[in-house]
Amino acid sequence: MMKRVIVAAVLAVSIGIGSYTGVSVAADGKFVVKPSATVKDVLTEQMGKRVSIKTDSGEALEGTVTTVGDQIVLIAKLTGKDFYDAVVRIDKITSIVLKP
């Protein structure tokens, strides 16, 4: 009985967080983006996860989203440069590739 209550509570919190942010994962494993979502919303939802981003200069970076601020994002452990991190202006990001 207690296990069901805990599972239900975790599920309720997950649903609440997913509805607050701009991106959620549907039951079939596909990403769903809200029409009002911003790049910041998507990055915030991906905190702690690996993403690939492309900047308006054409540079592609892949790493783990560790910090999302109002104007910048910190991408850590860059692929191919494991000892390097990158700080990127959010308004310079043209695309984000998400990994389910």
- Between 2 and 94, the higher pLDDT residue: 94
pLDDT at 87: 97
pLDDT at 20: 47
pLDDT at 34: 84
Give pLDDT tens digits for 26-84.
Answer: 555 677 788 889 999 999 999 999 999 999 999 999 999 999 999 999 999 999 987 89
Residue (of 69, 16, 20) closest to 43 by Cα position: 69
Architecture in CATH for domain 2-98: Roll (2.30)
In the chain, where the domains are located: 2-98
- Strand ranges (E), 27-89: 31-33, 50-55, 60-68, 72-76, 86-89
Helix (H) / strand (E) containing 97 = strand 93-98
Q: How confident is the model at residue 21 (pLDDT cuts 50, 70, 90)?
A: low
